[in-house]
Amino acid sequence: MDRKNFIGMSSFQFMAATRRGLFYAFLTLFFLEVLRRSFTESMLVMALPMLANSLTQPLIWGPLSDKMGTRKIFIAVGESIAGVAYILLSPPVWSIFSGVTFIQAPELYALTLIIGLTLLESFWSMSNVAWSALLADLTVEETRGTVVGGLFSVDAIGRIIGVFLGGLLYDYPTKAAGFPYLFYLSSAIMFSSALVILLTIEEKRTPRRPTPRTLEIKGDFENKHIFYLFLVAIMFVSIATASIWRVLNYYLRLALLATSFEMSIISNVASITQLVTNPIIGKLSDVKGRLPLLQIGFILAVITPILYTLPRKLIWLIPVSIVAGVLRVLSITVAFSYVADIVPENARGKYMGQYNMARSLSFGVVPILTAGILPDLWKKRLILAGYTIEAAEITAMLYVFYLSSAIALIGLVTFQIHNIVLKRRT
Protein backbone atom coordinates (compact mmCIF):
# COMPACT_ATOMS: atom_id res chain seq x y z
CA MET A 1 0.00 0.00 0.00
CA ASP A 2 1.44 3.38 -0.94
CA ARG A 3 1.96 6.10 1.65
CA LYS A 4 -0.96 8.33 0.65
CA ASN A 5 -3.47 5.50 0.74
CA PHE A 6 -2.13 4.26 4.08
CA ILE A 7 -2.53 7.74 5.56
CA GLY A 8 -6.09 7.93 4.24
CA MET A 9 -7.06 4.45 5.42
CA SER A 10 -5.44 4.88 8.82
CA SER A 11 -7.07 8.30 9.31
CA PHE A 12 -10.47 6.82 8.54
CA GLN A 13 -9.82 3.85 10.83
CA PHE A 14 -8.75 6.18 13.63
CA MET A 15 -11.95 8.22 13.39
CA ALA A 16 -14.18 5.16 13.06
CA ALA A 17 -12.62 3.58 16.14
CA THR A 18 -12.92 6.83 18.10
CA ARG A 19 -16.61 7.03 17.25
CA ARG A 20 -17.28 3.40 18.17
CA GLY A 21 -15.47 3.70 21.50
CA LEU A 22 -17.18 6.98 22.23
CA PHE A 23 -20.75 5.85 21.56
CA TYR A 24 -21.23 2.10 21.69
CA ALA A 25 -19.21 1.53 24.85
CA PHE A 26 -21.91 3.40 26.78
CA LEU A 27 -25.10 2.73 24.79
CA THR A 28 -25.99 -0.49 26.60
CA LEU A 29 -25.14 1.08 29.95
CA PHE A 30 -27.55 3.95 29.16
CA PHE A 31 -30.34 1.47 28.36
CA LEU A 32 -29.79 -0.49 31.58
CA GLU A 33 -29.23 2.23 34.15
CA VAL A 34 -31.09 5.26 32.76
CA LEU A 35 -33.92 3.97 30.60
CA ARG A 36 -34.22 0.97 32.97
CA ARG A 37 -34.74 -1.51 30.18
CA SER A 38 -34.31 -5.26 30.65
CA PHE A 39 -31.21 -7.13 29.54
CA THR A 40 -33.17 -8.32 26.50
CA GLU A 41 -34.25 -4.83 25.43
CA SER A 42 -30.75 -3.53 26.05
CA MET A 43 -29.38 -6.17 23.69
CA LEU A 44 -32.01 -5.40 21.04
CA VAL A 45 -30.52 -1.94 20.45
CA MET A 46 -27.35 -3.69 19.32
CA ALA A 47 -28.85 -6.86 17.83
CA LEU A 48 -31.39 -5.55 15.33
CA PRO A 49 -29.10 -2.87 13.84
CA MET A 50 -26.31 -5.43 13.46
CA LEU A 51 -28.75 -7.88 11.84
CA ALA A 52 -29.71 -5.25 9.28
CA ASN A 53 -26.03 -4.45 8.76
CA SER A 54 -25.03 -8.07 8.29
CA LEU A 55 -27.77 -8.89 5.80
CA THR A 56 -27.37 -5.86 3.55
CA GLN A 57 -23.58 -6.17 3.22
CA PRO A 58 -23.44 -9.44 1.21
CA LEU A 59 -26.88 -9.12 -0.37
CA ILE A 60 -26.75 -5.51 -1.60
CA TRP A 61 -23.71 -3.36 -1.01
CA GLY A 62 -20.86 -5.86 -1.44
CA PRO A 63 -21.96 -7.15 -4.88
CA LEU A 64 -22.94 -3.62 -5.93
CA SER A 65 -19.48 -2.25 -5.09
CA ASP A 66 -17.91 -5.12 -7.08
CA LYS A 67 -20.16 -4.31 -10.03
CA MET A 68 -19.50 -0.57 -9.93
CA GLY A 69 -15.76 -1.03 -9.38
CA THR A 70 -15.56 1.62 -6.66
CA ARG A 71 -15.34 1.49 -2.88
CA LYS A 72 -14.71 4.98 -1.55
CA ILE A 73 -18.03 6.44 -2.78
CA PHE A 74 -19.88 3.79 -0.79
CA ILE A 75 -17.83 4.65 2.30
CA ALA A 76 -18.43 8.39 2.00
CA VAL A 77 -22.17 8.06 1.36
CA GLY A 78 -22.64 5.59 4.21
CA GLU A 79 -20.79 7.77 6.72
CA SER A 80 -22.71 10.89 5.66
CA ILE A 81 -26.09 9.18 6.07
CA ALA A 82 -25.05 8.04 9.55
CA GLY A 83 -23.90 11.55 10.49
CA VAL A 84 -27.35 12.98 9.74
CA ALA A 85 -29.15 10.11 11.48
CA TYR A 86 -27.19 10.51 14.72
CA ILE A 87 -28.25 14.14 14.99
CA LEU A 88 -31.91 13.22 14.46
CA LEU A 89 -31.73 10.43 17.07
CA SER A 90 -30.02 12.53 19.77
CA PRO A 91 -32.18 13.08 22.88
CA PRO A 92 -32.66 16.89 22.46
CA VAL A 93 -33.63 16.68 18.77
CA TRP A 94 -35.85 13.66 19.46
CA SER A 95 -37.59 15.64 22.21
CA ILE A 96 -38.34 18.45 19.77
CA PHE A 97 -40.09 16.07 17.36
CA SER A 98 -41.81 13.90 19.98
CA GLY A 99 -42.81 16.62 22.43
CA VAL A 100 -41.52 14.65 25.44
CA THR A 101 -38.12 13.93 26.98
CA PHE A 102 -36.57 10.49 27.30
CA ILE A 103 -37.03 10.79 31.09
CA GLN A 104 -40.79 11.21 30.59
CA ALA A 105 -41.07 8.44 27.99
CA PRO A 106 -38.12 6.04 28.36
CA GLU A 107 -39.96 3.18 26.62
CA LEU A 108 -40.71 5.34 23.57
CA TYR A 109 -37.18 6.67 23.31
CA ALA A 110 -35.72 3.18 23.67
CA LEU A 111 -37.99 1.96 20.87
CA THR A 112 -37.00 4.94 18.71
CA LEU A 113 -33.30 4.15 19.12
CA ILE A 114 -33.82 0.47 18.34
CA ILE A 115 -35.85 1.14 15.17
CA GLY A 116 -33.83 4.19 14.11
CA LEU A 117 -30.44 2.51 14.43
CA THR A 118 -31.78 -0.58 12.63
CA LEU A 119 -32.92 1.47 9.64
CA LEU A 120 -29.66 3.40 9.69
CA GLU A 121 -27.48 0.27 9.65
CA SER A 122 -29.22 -0.95 6.49
CA PHE A 123 -27.54 1.95 4.66
CA TRP A 124 -24.50 2.45 6.87
CA SER A 125 -23.40 -1.11 6.06
CA MET A 126 -22.30 0.06 2.62
CA SER A 127 -19.39 1.76 4.36
CA ASN A 128 -18.38 -1.37 6.30
CA VAL A 129 -18.18 -3.75 3.37
CA ALA A 130 -16.59 -1.17 1.06
CA TRP A 131 -13.83 -0.46 3.59
CA SER A 132 -13.04 -4.18 4.01
CA ALA A 133 -12.96 -4.76 0.24
CA LEU A 134 -10.87 -1.61 -0.30
CA LEU A 135 -8.30 -2.75 2.27
CA ALA A 136 -8.04 -6.11 0.52
CA ASP A 137 -7.71 -4.32 -2.85
CA LEU A 138 -4.87 -2.10 -1.67
CA THR A 139 -2.73 -4.78 0.00
CA VAL A 140 -0.75 -7.81 -1.16
CA GLU A 141 -0.61 -11.18 0.54
CA GLU A 142 3.08 -11.07 1.51
CA THR A 143 2.72 -7.87 3.59
CA ARG A 144 -1.01 -7.84 4.35
CA GLY A 145 -0.61 -8.86 7.98
CA THR A 146 1.90 -6.07 8.58
CA VAL A 147 -0.29 -3.43 6.95
CA VAL A 148 -3.48 -4.61 8.65
CA GLY A 149 -1.62 -4.76 11.97
CA GLY A 150 -0.51 -1.15 11.50
CA LEU A 151 -4.05 -0.04 10.69
CA PHE A 152 -5.51 -1.78 13.69
CA SER A 153 -2.86 -0.18 15.89
CA VAL A 154 -4.27 3.12 14.71
CA ASP A 155 -7.70 1.65 15.46
CA ALA A 156 -6.55 1.02 19.03
CA ILE A 157 -5.44 4.64 19.45
CA GLY A 158 -8.82 5.82 18.24
CA ARG A 159 -10.63 3.43 20.57
CA ILE A 160 -8.54 4.61 23.52
CA ILE A 161 -9.38 8.25 22.82
CA GLY A 162 -13.04 7.47 22.12
CA VAL A 163 -13.61 5.45 25.27
CA PHE A 164 -11.70 8.03 27.33
CA LEU A 165 -13.83 10.87 25.97
CA GLY A 166 -16.98 8.81 26.41
CA GLY A 167 -16.06 8.08 30.01
CA LEU A 168 -15.57 11.78 30.70
CA LEU A 169 -18.66 12.99 28.84
CA TYR A 170 -21.15 10.29 29.86
CA ASP A 171 -21.20 11.32 33.53
CA TYR A 172 -20.86 15.06 32.82
CA PRO A 173 -22.03 17.05 34.71
CA THR A 174 -23.84 14.28 36.62
CA LYS A 175 -24.35 10.55 36.19
CA ALA A 176 -25.34 9.75 32.56
CA ALA A 177 -26.23 13.41 31.86
CA GLY A 178 -23.65 13.72 29.08
CA PHE A 179 -25.12 11.01 26.85
CA PRO A 180 -26.44 13.53 24.24
CA TYR A 181 -22.91 14.82 23.65
CA LEU A 182 -21.92 11.38 22.40
CA PHE A 183 -24.34 11.73 19.47
CA TYR A 184 -23.06 15.13 18.35
CA LEU A 185 -19.38 14.27 18.56
CA SER A 186 -19.97 10.95 16.75
CA SER A 187 -21.82 12.77 13.97
CA ALA A 188 -18.99 15.26 13.47
CA ILE A 189 -16.51 12.38 13.26
CA MET A 190 -18.58 10.63 10.58
CA PHE A 191 -18.73 13.69 8.32
CA SER A 192 -14.97 14.18 8.75
CA SER A 193 -14.18 10.55 7.93
CA ALA A 194 -16.26 10.71 4.73
CA LEU A 195 -14.30 13.75 3.63
CA VAL A 196 -10.96 12.08 4.40
CA ILE A 197 -11.79 9.06 2.24
CA LEU A 198 -12.88 11.20 -0.71
CA LEU A 199 -9.77 13.39 -0.60
CA THR A 200 -7.01 10.89 0.14
CA ILE A 201 -7.79 7.48 -1.34
CA GLU A 202 -6.67 6.55 -4.84
CA GLU A 203 -8.50 3.33 -5.66
CA LYS A 204 -6.64 0.55 -7.37
CA ARG A 205 -6.71 -3.22 -7.40
CA THR A 206 -3.51 -4.95 -6.34
CA PRO A 207 -3.14 -8.03 -8.58
CA ARG A 208 -2.85 -11.38 -6.86
CA ARG A 209 0.66 -12.78 -7.29
CA PRO A 210 0.86 -16.46 -8.17
CA THR A 211 2.85 -18.42 -5.60
CA PRO A 212 3.48 -22.13 -4.91
CA ARG A 213 2.82 -21.70 -1.20
CA THR A 214 0.04 -23.52 0.65
CA LEU A 215 -3.68 -22.88 0.46
CA GLU A 216 -3.44 -20.60 3.48
CA ILE A 217 -1.42 -18.08 1.45
CA LYS A 218 -2.12 -19.12 -2.10
CA GLY A 219 -5.77 -18.09 -2.19
CA ASP A 220 -6.97 -21.26 -3.98
CA PHE A 221 -10.75 -21.01 -3.66
CA GLU A 222 -11.88 -24.26 -5.24
CA ASN A 223 -13.22 -25.53 -1.92
CA LYS A 224 -15.22 -22.83 -0.23
CA HIS A 225 -16.01 -25.09 2.71
CA ILE A 226 -12.61 -24.17 4.19
CA PHE A 227 -13.61 -20.51 4.18
CA TYR A 228 -17.00 -21.27 5.69
CA LEU A 229 -15.59 -23.57 8.36
CA PHE A 230 -13.37 -20.74 9.49
CA LEU A 231 -16.34 -18.35 9.51
CA VAL A 232 -18.25 -20.70 11.81
CA ALA A 233 -15.27 -20.99 14.16
CA ILE A 234 -14.65 -17.24 14.36
CA MET A 235 -18.38 -16.63 14.86
CA PHE A 236 -18.32 -18.61 18.11
CA VAL A 237 -15.38 -16.56 19.37
CA SER A 238 -17.15 -13.36 18.36
CA ILE A 239 -20.32 -14.42 20.21
CA ALA A 240 -18.28 -15.09 23.35
CA THR A 241 -16.41 -11.78 23.30
CA ALA A 242 -19.54 -9.80 22.37
CA SER A 243 -21.56 -11.32 25.22
CA ILE A 244 -18.88 -10.20 27.69
CA TRP A 245 -18.61 -6.73 26.17
CA ARG A 246 -22.38 -6.19 26.38
CA VAL A 247 -22.58 -6.63 30.15
CA LEU A 248 -19.05 -5.74 31.28
CA ASN A 249 -19.61 -2.06 32.12
CA TYR A 250 -22.83 -2.79 33.99
CA TYR A 251 -21.06 -5.60 35.85
CA LEU A 252 -18.25 -3.19 36.79
CA ARG A 253 -20.82 -0.63 37.96
CA LEU A 254 -22.71 -3.07 40.20
CA ALA A 255 -20.10 -5.58 41.35
CA LEU A 256 -17.05 -3.31 41.66
CA LEU A 257 -18.76 0.12 42.00
CA ALA A 258 -16.83 1.55 39.05
CA THR A 259 -17.38 5.05 37.68
CA SER A 260 -17.66 5.58 33.92
CA PHE A 261 -14.11 6.98 33.93
CA GLU A 262 -12.81 3.83 35.66
CA MET A 263 -14.69 1.74 33.09
CA SER A 264 -12.90 3.63 30.34
CA ILE A 265 -9.54 2.89 31.98
CA ILE A 266 -10.25 -0.86 32.07
CA SER A 267 -11.35 -0.79 28.44
CA ASN A 268 -8.35 1.29 27.37
CA VAL A 269 -5.85 -1.12 28.89
CA ALA A 270 -7.05 -3.66 26.30
CA SER A 271 -6.81 -1.02 23.58
CA ILE A 272 -3.28 0.00 24.59
CA THR A 273 -2.30 -3.67 24.47
CA GLN A 274 -3.84 -3.85 21.01
CA LEU A 275 -1.88 -0.77 19.97
CA VAL A 276 1.43 -2.25 21.10
CA THR A 277 0.95 -5.82 19.87
CA ASN A 278 -0.85 -5.24 16.56
CA PRO A 279 2.24 -4.47 14.42
CA ILE A 280 4.22 -7.22 16.14
CA ILE A 281 1.58 -9.90 15.71
CA GLY A 282 0.70 -8.68 12.22
CA LYS A 283 4.32 -8.95 11.09
CA LEU A 284 4.66 -12.30 12.82
CA SER A 285 1.64 -13.63 10.92
CA ASP A 286 3.32 -12.67 7.64
CA VAL A 287 6.50 -14.53 8.59
CA LYS A 288 5.21 -17.54 10.54
CA GLY A 289 1.75 -17.89 8.99
CA ARG A 290 -1.74 -16.99 10.19
CA LEU A 291 -2.85 -20.38 11.50
CA PRO A 292 -0.44 -20.84 14.45
CA LEU A 293 -1.38 -17.41 15.79
CA LEU A 294 -5.07 -18.04 15.25
CA GLN A 295 -4.68 -21.24 17.29
CA ILE A 296 -3.42 -19.18 20.24
CA GLY A 297 -6.29 -16.75 19.77
CA PHE A 298 -8.93 -19.48 19.99
CA ILE A 299 -7.36 -20.81 23.18
CA LEU A 300 -7.30 -17.34 24.76
CA ALA A 301 -10.97 -16.90 23.80
CA VAL A 302 -11.83 -19.89 26.02
CA ILE A 303 -9.79 -18.65 28.99
CA THR A 304 -10.53 -14.90 28.99
CA PRO A 305 -14.24 -14.99 30.03
CA ILE A 306 -13.36 -16.92 33.19
CA LEU A 307 -10.58 -14.47 34.03
CA TYR A 308 -13.11 -11.63 34.17
CA THR A 309 -15.01 -13.36 37.00
CA LEU A 310 -12.01 -13.67 39.34
CA PRO A 311 -11.01 -10.10 40.44
CA ARG A 312 -12.75 -8.52 43.42
CA LYS A 313 -10.95 -5.20 42.96
CA LEU A 314 -10.72 -3.08 39.82
CA ILE A 315 -6.92 -3.09 39.85
CA TRP A 316 -6.85 -6.83 39.19
CA LEU A 317 -8.82 -6.40 36.00
CA ILE A 318 -5.82 -4.71 34.37
CA PRO A 319 -3.94 -7.96 33.57
CA VAL A 320 -7.21 -9.47 32.36
CA SER A 321 -7.65 -6.53 30.01
CA ILE A 322 -4.11 -7.08 28.70
CA VAL A 323 -5.03 -10.65 27.78
CA ALA A 324 -8.25 -9.37 26.20
CA GLY A 325 -6.22 -6.92 24.10
CA VAL A 326 -4.01 -9.69 22.73
CA LEU A 327 -7.13 -11.75 21.98
CA ARG A 328 -8.61 -8.83 20.07
CA VAL A 329 -5.53 -8.62 17.83
CA LEU A 330 -5.52 -12.34 17.11
CA SER A 331 -9.26 -12.63 16.47
CA ILE A 332 -9.58 -9.45 14.37
CA THR A 333 -6.27 -8.50 12.74
CA VAL A 334 -4.96 -11.98 11.98
CA ALA A 335 -8.42 -13.35 11.14
CA PHE A 336 -9.04 -10.52 8.66
CA SER A 337 -5.66 -11.08 7.02
CA TYR A 338 -6.32 -14.80 6.70
CA VAL A 339 -9.72 -14.27 5.07
CA ALA A 340 -8.33 -11.59 2.73
CA ASP A 341 -5.64 -14.10 1.68
CA ILE A 342 -8.04 -16.84 0.65
CA VAL A 343 -11.01 -15.06 -0.98
CA PRO A 344 -10.86 -14.52 -4.76
CA GLU A 345 -9.84 -11.09 -5.94
CA ASN A 346 -12.72 -10.59 -8.36
CA ALA A 347 -15.35 -11.22 -5.66
CA ARG A 348 -13.85 -9.56 -2.61
CA GLY A 349 -16.90 -7.39 -2.07
CA LYS A 350 -19.13 -10.47 -1.99
CA TYR A 351 -16.99 -12.66 0.27
CA MET A 352 -15.71 -9.90 2.55
CA GLY A 353 -19.39 -8.99 2.87
CA GLN A 354 -20.08 -12.56 3.99
CA TYR A 355 -17.20 -12.38 6.44
CA ASN A 356 -18.49 -9.10 7.83
CA MET A 357 -21.99 -10.57 7.97
CA ALA A 358 -20.73 -13.51 10.01
CA ARG A 359 -18.96 -11.15 12.41
CA SER A 360 -21.98 -8.84 12.62
CA LEU A 361 -24.46 -11.64 13.28
CA SER A 362 -22.28 -13.17 15.97
CA PHE A 363 -21.17 -9.92 17.55
CA GLY A 364 -24.41 -7.99 17.28
CA VAL A 365 -27.35 -10.39 16.99
CA VAL A 366 -26.75 -13.63 18.88
CA PRO A 367 -25.89 -11.84 22.17
CA ILE A 368 -29.57 -10.94 22.45
CA LEU A 369 -29.88 -14.55 23.63
CA THR A 370 -26.60 -15.01 25.51
CA ALA A 371 -26.46 -11.55 27.15
CA GLY A 372 -30.16 -10.62 27.03
CA ILE A 373 -32.87 -13.27 27.21
CA LEU A 374 -30.92 -15.80 29.29
CA PRO A 375 -29.72 -13.26 31.91
CA ASP A 376 -33.32 -12.02 32.27
CA LEU A 377 -34.50 -15.59 32.88
CA TRP A 378 -31.67 -16.26 35.33
CA LYS A 379 -32.40 -12.98 37.12
CA LYS A 380 -36.08 -13.88 37.61
CA ARG A 381 -35.22 -17.32 38.96
CA LEU A 382 -32.61 -15.91 41.33
CA ILE A 383 -35.06 -13.32 42.68
CA LEU A 384 -37.59 -16.10 43.30
CA ALA A 385 -34.82 -17.96 45.14
CA GLY A 386 -34.40 -15.02 47.53
CA TYR A 387 -31.70 -12.91 45.89
CA THR A 388 -31.97 -9.12 45.92
CA ILE A 389 -32.42 -7.50 42.50
CA GLU A 390 -28.82 -6.27 42.47
CA ALA A 391 -27.38 -9.61 43.59
CA ALA A 392 -29.51 -11.41 41.01
CA GLU A 393 -28.22 -9.12 38.23
CA ILE A 394 -24.58 -9.61 39.27
CA THR A 395 -24.98 -13.39 39.44
CA ALA A 396 -26.78 -13.50 36.08
CA MET A 397 -23.90 -11.59 34.49
CA LEU A 398 -21.41 -14.04 36.01
CA TYR A 399 -23.36 -16.82 34.27
CA VAL A 400 -22.88 -14.89 31.01
CA PHE A 401 -19.10 -15.07 31.47
CA TYR A 402 -19.21 -18.83 32.10
CA LEU A 403 -21.46 -19.39 29.08
CA SER A 404 -19.10 -17.31 26.91
CA SER A 405 -16.20 -19.59 27.80
CA ALA A 406 -18.23 -22.64 26.74
CA ILE A 407 -19.20 -20.99 23.46
CA ALA A 408 -15.57 -20.12 22.70
CA LEU A 409 -14.66 -23.76 23.33
CA ILE A 410 -17.04 -24.78 20.53
CA GLY A 411 -15.22 -22.27 18.31
CA LEU A 412 -11.87 -23.84 19.20
CA VAL A 413 -13.14 -27.31 18.29
CA THR A 414 -14.53 -26.02 14.98
CA PHE A 415 -11.20 -24.37 14.19
CA GLN A 416 -9.44 -27.69 14.81
CA ILE A 417 -11.79 -29.35 12.31
CA HIS A 418 -10.99 -26.52 9.87
CA ASN A 419 -7.26 -27.26 10.28
CA ILE A 420 -7.77 -30.97 9.61
CA VAL A 421 -9.73 -30.27 6.43
CA LEU A 422 -7.14 -27.71 5.36
CA LYS A 423 -4.26 -30.18 5.74
CA ARG A 424 -6.09 -32.79 3.72
CA ARG A 425 -6.80 -30.23 0.99
CA THR A 426 -3.17 -29.14 0.69
**Per-residue pLDDT tens for 221-230?**
566 888 899 9
CATH value at residue 389: 1.20.1250.20
- Alpha carbon dihedral 48, 50, 56, 62, in 10-degree steps, equals 180
Could you tell me the pLDDT band of residue 151, with boundaries at 50, 70 and 90? confident
Helix (H) or strand (E) segment spanning residue 35: none
pLDDT at 405 over 90: yes
Tell me how far apart the alpha carbons of residues 379 and 38 are, in angstroms, rounded to a whole number.
10
Q: What are the CA-CA distances from residue 159 to residues 17, 89, 132, 151, 288 (Å)?
A: 5, 22, 18, 12, 28
Q: What is the pLDDT of residue 302?
A: 97
Mean of pLDDT values over 265-293:
90
In whole angstroms, what is the distance from residue 368 CA to residue 418 CA?
27
Residues 269, 343: Cα–Cα separation, whole Å: 33
Cis-peptide into 180, omega within 30 deg: no
Residue 35 has pLDDT above 50, yes or no: yes
Among residues 411, 402, 405, 327, which one has the least CA distance to residue 362?
411
- Where in the sequence is the domain holding 43, given as residue range(s)? 3-205+214-425
Residues 6+ apart with CB under 8 A from 160: 21, 268, 271, 272, 275
How much is the average pLDDT of 211-216? Answer: 40
**Would residue 289 be called left, alpha or beta, if left means φ above 0 and alpha means ψ between -120 and 50 degrees?**
left
Higher pLDDT, 7 or 220: 7
What is residue 214's three-state secondary structure? coil
223-227, 263-267, 324-328, 345-349: range with lowest mean pLDDT: 345-349
Beta strands in 139-209 (DSSP E): none
Cα–Cα distances in Å, from 340 out to 334, 354, 383, 426?
10, 12, 48, 18
Is the pLDDT score of 293 beyond 80? yes
pLDDT confidence of residue 62: 83
Intra-chain end-to-end CA distance of the chain, in Å: 29
Domain count of the chain?
1
pLDDT at residue number 344: 79
User: For residue range 66-115, what is the model confidence (pLDDT) as tens digits?
Assistant: 888 788 899 999 999 999 999 999 999 999 999 999 999 999 999 999 99
Does the pLDDT at position 172 exceed 90?
Answer: no
